Structure 1
């Protein structure tokens, strides 16, 4: 029992809950309303397995990340160390392998490996990318940030692709498929961009340890001011995209959706924009990282509104 709490911290259980929440609201607030009354009986079992696969693979990724980051974490967050203090590295590696295998098996069972084999391969690629991200890519300029952002977007895309093949996804015979595709791209795109923003902010926050161990992250290579410019550019793009989408949504008179998006997503992003310009200390960037994660949460929760309107 004494090891349960450290283990839950190691696998970042709040982040796993976030993944579950994202996939659940997409399934029940987007997909099911679009196809109300026509959902196959096996769909719920398939969905539960896919969520389990996403959680297992993500948990394995967090474990291997800490495994490779022990020295850096001793500098950046010594008070939050789990490995070598409460859990051994050998057990961590064993759990990584077991959870990764469980994730691939769940995917294969969920999607019928012979029908949608590419989803099994895709999740296997996710496992491999998480390993190489932790071992190497996170220390390099931009590539680590892009990998994390793509994997964040993938949690939505995999649910969409589990319903249809690539061929059916672009079919014009079923308006529902096109509608679902648009929602998947919208929310995956949002997740991708806001993850790019958060990863860059975290790079600034983690500079002391990263610099000591030879990492070549954006703030180390480009400098903090250039990294701030990079973040503000993506913030600006995201805010403009959200405002354009609201003008489109106004055509359907979805007033509550517009009000929610502006109050709960756009305004917090503008606040992040303002705080970024004045941020100086590590604690400032840690706070910005938390604000960005909260904006991601409110963005994902906006799917709840479509349960009303669809």
Structure 2
């Protein structure tokens, strides 16, 4: 969207800006992943229609989506100057939405998300409060520190699945396997994104791994993480004595090997952006293995 003057802004611009700010597509993926986890992993699968109509499941998913949306808002609020350098075409706060409007939206979304969780159970409420707190500190402080910001985002990704086990304890160990999968691939992707955004991050005083260690050392660390990722998945599948799951993870070694190969060759912002997309694809492929888990 190319708007040269504020007087040209229309209601459509504001709505479109807000929808881009909260990453609607990502929120839909979060909700879909939670419902697939509930149906395919927790089950029973034959009761899928009842699960879709389950009010508690709806409230848990909606609360997660609202808190995630609030996280996107506060992240962009704190990152205006960095995003102007790294992703100027995606800047919304300050262009389509005033800063105070963004902060107000963040607070409303968080309050609604936490209260909806409380309607389900106090434990879901506590997980939601933890998520809100981590998202705030991530955006305000952790994101600019080496590794801890990457770790927090990845942990929150895993929590979006683990929160289901708080209320639905069946097959908790199987859900943990996929939460671990989501954690590791998110961690790898977050570090790759830091490699992609190193120019803007460095200009504004961030201390991410690529800035502190350099690109080469960060790559070595990613090789270690990916190895640990693969080893952990196979150990968990073996612990569950799930042969099918083991074969599904074995099939994922092909795109993971391709990721490592591309990472070895990558040296430009465009290369790292492509690797980030490849991580998304691996996550999608991993989640599809739920059908046979």
Q: Does the pair score TM above 0.5?
A: yes
1:252-271 matched pairs, under 5 angstroms: 254=244, 260-263=248-251, 265-271=252-258
From 199, 210, 213, give the equivalent of 1:222: 213
Report deviation, 1:234: 1.2
From 24, 32, 36, give the equivalent of 1:25: 36
Relative contact order higher in (CA < 8 Å, ≥ 6 apart): 1
Report deviation, 1:60: 0.2
Q: Residue 130 in 1 paired to residue 135 in 2?
A: yes
TM-score (norm 1): 0.84
From 140, 148, 163, give the equivalent of 2:145: 140
Q: Residue 96 in 1 paired to residue 101 in 2?
A: no
What is the CA deviation profile of residues 171-196 of structure 1, one whole-angstrom value per residue up to 9, with x for unaligned ones? Answer: xxxxxx4xx12102101111111111
Q: Residue 78 in 1 paired to residue 88 in 2?
A: yes
Paired residues, what number?
281
Q: Cα–Cα, structure 1 residues 189 and 253, in superposed 2: closer, same or farther, change >3 Å?
A: closer
Q: Which residue of 2 aligns with 1:52?
A: 62
Report deviation, 1:16: 0.9
Q: Residue 202 in 1 paired to residue 193 in 2?
A: yes
The separation in 2 between residues aligned to 1:119 and 1:246, in whole angstroms, is: 27
What is the CA deviation profile of residues 208-249 of structure 1, one whole-angstrom value per residue up to 9, with x for unaligned ones? Answer: 011001111101111111111111111122233445567778
What is the CA deviation profile of residues 102-131 of structure 1, one whole-angstrom value per residue up to 9, with x for unaligned ones? Answer: 1001101122xxxxx233122112112111
Whether contact under 8 Å (2:38, 2:51) holds in the other structure is no
Q: Which residue of 1 aligns with 2:261?
A: 274
Report deviation, 1:41: 8.7
Whether contact under 8 Å (2:83, 2:200) holds in the other structure is yes
Structure 2 residue matching 1:302: 3-state secondary structure: helix
Q: Cα–Cα, structure 1 residues 191 and 252, in superposed 2: closer, same or farther, change >3 Å?
A: closer
- Structure 1 unaligned runs (5+)? 112-116, 165-176
Whether contact under 8 Å (2:237, 2:243) holds in the other structure is no
The separation in 1 between residues aligned to 2:86 and 2:65, in whole angstroms, is: 26
Whether contact under 8 Å (1:140, 1:215) holds in the other structure is yes
Report deviation, 1:260: 4.7
Report deviation, 1:161: 1.1
Whether contact under 8 Å (2:196, 2:273) holds in the other structure is yes
Q: Which residue of 2 aligns with 1:169?
A: none
- Structure 2 unaligned runs (5+)? 1-10
TM-score (norm 2): 0.89
Q: Which residue of 2 aligns with 1:299?
A: 286
Structure 2 residue matching 1:273: 3-state secondary structure: helix
Q: Which residue of 2 aligns with 1:172?
A: none
The separation in 2 between residues aligned to 1:214 and 1:96, in whole angstroms, is: 25
1:175-190 matched pairs, under 5 angstroms: 177=170, 180-190=171-181
Structure 2 residue matching 1:82: 3-state secondary structure: coil
The separation in 2 between residues aligned to 1:128 and 1:84, in whole angstroms, is: 24
